[in-house]
Structure 1
């Protein structure tokens, strides 16, 4: 089937992507907590994979917002970076990313970071391409899907305001 014909709506679970990583000293700053930039790199990669799984074509990061660091991640902890597509427009996809850290000795887990990434799907010529709609199934997916249009409006307004600078 031609990629241009793959436009049926897809369940969120088809884009879900999880990466597990052990945090080493080289991943941390002088406070012995994980570098925010290193974590953002992991988040962007996992989000990109989720977007590509949904669109089944190449994607580019268009924006990152609501990146909230909730708790530090320490050397020796394991992080689980999870991403999935929550909502789509014509060629763009909103991807929710969350990071949970785990102390392997105590078993304590905590949500450490959340963010929303926006990706644009590209056709073989590098032009924006239409993506399938999303079918949310769980309560969390339904909630994120329902609130996505408001986040999209805020992103659009922020982008438009920057054009005036």
Structure 2
């Protein structure tokens, strides 16, 4: 997987490093602040979807890139293991942001189920946001260590 001779993985990783924390922070904000939910909620959902998509592409490109090395190092194997764990967290983050927004629609319609759903969706979103941010930092650090040593 290459673009003009460059491996795709190190290129697309930059999207993950930006989009996952951005979607995570947006998810926390819309979970905790109703006015922000109404104004920026669907934008946050879009960023969460883009974060999940870029994470998927980075993971597949990373697997292809890893396969090109005849003798991967222990640091590369560690990075590969951590990188393979991010996608489920980001997908659940996306699902949580969607749940929060659907809960807001119920609240807007005066449906009593909306309050409970916004609480559940918010808990899921905030927890997944925090896990995703920590995982991106851990994966990024392990990737930098694999490339630059340390």
TM-score, normalising length from structure 1?
A: 0.25
The structure richer in strand per residue is 1
More helix by share: 2
Q: State the structure with bigger RCO (CA 8 A, min sep 6), 1 or 2.
A: 2
